[in-house]
Amino acid sequence: IFAVPPFDMEQMGKLPQLILNSGLLTPDGLVIIEHGDGTNFEKEKGFEDTRKYGHVNFSVFTLGES
């Protein structure tokens, strides 16, 4: 699942868990959320990695514990 919400979205911090808990993701699937520098998901359940490309970031999540 690839999500590209507005970078200033008020509920951005809740987005990973909303998607992971939705039942839409397969056990081996990935959630990738595009976001700006001001958002940090490193402490979120399911967080795997963040890739930075200038001021654009892509955070990756899985259903597994990391």
pLDDT in tens, the chain (66 residues): 999 998 888 889 999 999 999 999 999 999 999 999 999 999 999 999 999 999 999 999 999 854
Q: How many C-beta atoms surround the C-beta of residue 66 within 10 A?
A: 12
pTM attached to this predicted model: 0.90
Q: In what order do the strands lie in the sheet with 2-3?
A: 2-3, 31-36, 56-61, 47-53
pLDDT of residue 65: 55
Tell me how far CA of residue 61 lies from CA of 1, 35, 48, in angstroms: 10, 13, 5
Write down the H helix ranges in 1-66. 15-20
pLDDT of residue 66: 45
And the tokens for 24? 């839409």
pLDDT of residue 8: 86
